Structure 1
Amino acid sequence: MPLENYDLPSADPPLPVARTATNLRDLRSGLEGVLPPRDLDRTLRVASWNVKQLGGRPRLPESYWYIAEVLSHFDVVFLRELAGDLAGLERVRALLGDSWAFMVSDLLGGGDADERVGIVYDTRTVQFAGICGEFVLPDTEVVGRRRVPVRALARSPLMASFRASGFEFALASLQLRAPPADMSDPEAARRAAAEALALHMAERTVDPAAPTRNLILLGDFDFHEADSAIARELANNGFRIPVGRDALLAAREGKVGRFYDQIAYRFADRPGLAPRGQGVLPLFDWVFRDDQYSRYRPELRKDDGQAPRDAASFYRQYFRRDQLSDHHPLWAAFDIDLAADRLDRLAG
């Protein structure tokens, strides 16, 4: 059943209908007030969201509807922290409707042994263009006269190619890792790896044999400062980073904002293409708000089943993050109507 039908009384499992409807109305209104108008033929809306163990931890049934509502306002979304068991993602996709599809990585292994990353997309606006995989970076890369390690990634990037209204592009996930603490100069190692990584990514956008030269990078770039090594090197290699410092400080829910999630892009085929809009979605301004604490007070329980001692603080710091996420979605929207450009070229 598509989300747009909002048949809440027939939902299985049952929902608190009035509360869910109120929250969905406020969430939908909030999203529509921030995002540019959606045009199926002209606008590409992209988002990146760490959705906190989707499928790997218990949530209220209504929370899946809120997650689906957020996704439904985009054309393609890169998701992190998907559980190995895809039941949670399947549940969200069912709410989105039959026009939505997804692709996911293999289990990531290591410290994230039961975790995947994935891409969900609306097939009415975005079509899979045939390439999907976890591409492997070289162990070393020549930078100037130096050969430096490219082992800056915590996991292999998931990449997939898409087509939207004649505009071809690829999405690639990144999650950087900190250098080992026992290195003699860990910051120098971070800079060298960032330089090599950015150069390698940029080369993909100028390779004449590449199936697409328009690349969008999404994920955890490990931004602790706005002038971090990877941010500088991406910019030096022609990537644009549309979401600024103030917005990034709001991108992670917690006591101190940190630079984690990010979007960067380089469109070699359309170098002048700039976002129509970009930013961070402050979900708790619209759902699970501070003033809604009393609506959820009877349902607040710790993992051991006990009632929290300070229920109001527990609601803000733990409960609502477990229902949605401790990260807010980052987004950018691009005008991809190529008709005018094509006519200009044909007209001479």
Structure 2
Amino acid sequence: MFHGNVSLEIAEGLKALRARIAKAGIPSSKLDETVNIATWNIREFGKRRRSQAAIHYIAEILGQFDLIGVVELRDDLTDLGRVLEILGPYWDVVYSDAILDAGGNRERVCYVFDERAVCFNGLAAEASPPRRKSGTEYISEASWWRAPYVASFKAGNFDFVAFTTHVRWGSSAEARIAELQGLANWIGAKSREKYKEDRDIIAMGDFNVPDTKGPMFQAITSTGLMLPKPLARGAFGTNLARNKRYDQILHMPHFPENFCNAGGVLDFYARDHRPLFPTLTKEQFTYELSDHLPLWIQVNTDQDGARLDQLIQRKRAGRRG
């Protein structure tokens, strides 16, 4: 991290922020053994120029993880570049194009990652609803307001596909449920493809799902996605009030029992924004940092033991047969 010769106010803010980060209990990742993955909706990131303090705080938060799926990144990438300068030369990004209409909200999806821990594997594409032939044309019957962004990565000997999205809010819960079901169907179909990039899929982002029990959550998990065990324990939210679970990290892993060590929320707000921005209102604060908190998990990347156990079980079963 390259914070440099910051002002007294930023230095004091960084010290307060680090104390809040420490309370999140994020374990350090270990090369070739674990990787820390997060998703964060950074409110209107790039719509207007953020303060220098906000840029340092955002970099400090992102730097706690190895791979972050960022939503609400806007078409102007200037502030993202400012953050990367602080993160340093080992960090890189892969991002989608902006969707310029009102439904797309000029938003991109971005993966920010530390190349010392995570390698980009080559796949980067926007996901689209399935098409059907209509006359001489092939047309999507469904509408996803913002295209999910899919990219492949490798950490240790663990290859995986990341799927990050920002689902519509809209004026109708039914329309949101239909979009969530369409996304679940797409992921389920992708996992069954003969020439799929990888069997391990991690879906994350702002799904605008208020909890993990209602019809919206049932829709997104209907084709096999599941909550990592650490995120399934207890009730907590990713909004500043900590009572709504809009953001999710879900997985369709090959070894679910050996997938995840830990997970939770990094609460940089802690019910008081003033140690970070003493002169701002809470609403102004959300446009400097965000109105969403990062959600994170730690993934086991050394899968050799699980693979050997599976191989032994298959061979023993074959002998008995």
The residue number in structure 2 matching 1:312 is none
Which consecutive unaligned segments of at least 5 residues does structure 2 have? Answer: 133-139, 316-321
Post-superposition Cα deviations, 1:24-58, rounded to whole Å, max 9, x if no partner, equal 23323432442122212211111111111222223
Structure 1 residue 334: deviation in Å?
Answer: 1.1
Whether the aligned pair in 2 keeps the contact of 1:36 and 1:276 (CA below 8 Å) is no
Post-superposition Cα deviations, 1:195-236, rounded to whole Å, max 9, x if no partner, equal 443233122223231011111111221213432334213434
1:252 matched to 2:242: no
Aligned pair partner of 1:121 in 84, 101, 113: 113
The residue number in structure 1 matching 2:318 is none
Whether the aligned pair in 1 keeps the contact of 2:273 and 2:285 (CA below 8 Å) is no
Post-superposition Cα deviations, 1:94-135, rounded to whole Å, max 9, x if no partner, equal 110111000111111221453322110000010010100112
Structure 2 counterparts to residues 201-220 of structure 1, below 5 A: 201-220=187-206
State the distance in 1 between where 2:264 and 2:201 align.
19
Q: Aligned with 1:272: secondary structure?
A: helix
State the distance in 2 between where 1:26 and 1:178 align.
33
Aligned pair partner of 1:136 in 124, 128, 150: 128
1:30 matched to 2:20: yes
Superposed CA RMSD in Å reads 2.8
The answer to which of 189-198 and 130-139 deviates more is 189-198
The residue number in structure 2 matching 1:322 is 287
Structure 1 residue 170: deviation in Å?
Answer: 0.9
State the distance in 2 between where 1:192 and 1:59 align.
35
Q: 1:208 to 1:270 in 2, by over 3 A?
A: farther
State the distance in 2 between where 1:134 and 1:75 align.
22
Whether the aligned pair in 2 keeps the contact of 1:152 and 1:178 (CA below 8 Å) is no
Q: 1:328 to 1:191 in 2, by over 3 A?
A: closer
Structure 2 counterparts to residues 1-348 of structure 1, below 5 A: 2-3=1-2, 6-7=3-4, 9=5, 15-17=6-8, 19-33=9-23, 34-111=25-102, 112-139=104-131, 151=142, 153-177=144-168, 187=174, 194-242=180-228, 243-244=231-232, 246-248=235-237, 251-253=238-240, 257-267=243-253, 269-285=254-270, 289-290=272-273, 292=275, 296-297=278-279, 300=280, 315=281, 317-341=282-306
State the distance in 2 between where 1:164 and 1:234 align.
26
Q: 1:226 to 1:84 in 2, by over 3 A?
A: same
Whether the aligned pair in 1 keeps the contact of 2:96 and 2:108 (CA below 8 Å) is yes
When the two structures are superposed, what TM-score results if normalisation uses the length of structure 1? 0.77
Structure 1 residue 246: deviation in Å?
Answer: 2.5
State the distance in 1 between where 2:215 and 2:113 align.
31
Which consecutive unaligned segments of at least 5 residues does structure 1 have? Answer: 10-14, 141-148, 301-314
Q: Aligned with 1:319: secondary structure?
A: helix
Structure 1 residue 77: deviation in Å?
Answer: 0.4
State the distance in 2 between where 1:152 and 1:327 align.
25
The residue number in structure 2 matching 1:306 is none
| One-letter identity of the residue aligned with 1:324 | L
Structure 1 residue 338: deviation in Å?
Answer: 2.4
Post-superposition Cα deviations, 1:249-306, rounded to whole Å, max 9, x if no partner, equal xx1136x944422111111x32323421111111013xx945538x733xx4xxxxxx
Q: 1:225 to 1:125 in 2, by over 3 A?
A: closer
Whether the aligned pair in 2 keeps the contact of 1:130 and 1:161 (CA below 8 Å) is yes
State the distance in 2 between where 1:152 and 1:333 align.
33
State the distance in 1 between where 2:83 and 2:93 align.
11
State the distance in 1 between where 2:78 and 2:250 align.
30
Q: 1:226 to 1:211 in 2, by over 3 A?
A: closer
| One-letter identity of the residue aligned with 2:235 | D
Whether the aligned pair in 2 keeps the contact of 1:82 and 1:115 (CA below 8 Å) is yes
Whether the aligned pair in 2 keeps the contact of 1:133 and 1:160 (CA below 8 Å) is yes
When the two structures are superposed, what TM-score results if normalisation uses the length of structure 2? 0.83
Structure 1 residue 67: deviation in Å?
Answer: 0.5
Q: 1:196 to 1:114 in 2, by over 3 A?
A: closer
Structure 1 residue 343: deviation in Å?
Answer: 5.8
| One-letter identity of the residue aligned with 1:135 | A
The sequence identity of aligned pairs, in percent, is: 29
Whether the aligned pair in 1 keeps the contact of 2:236 and 2:245 (CA below 8 Å) is no
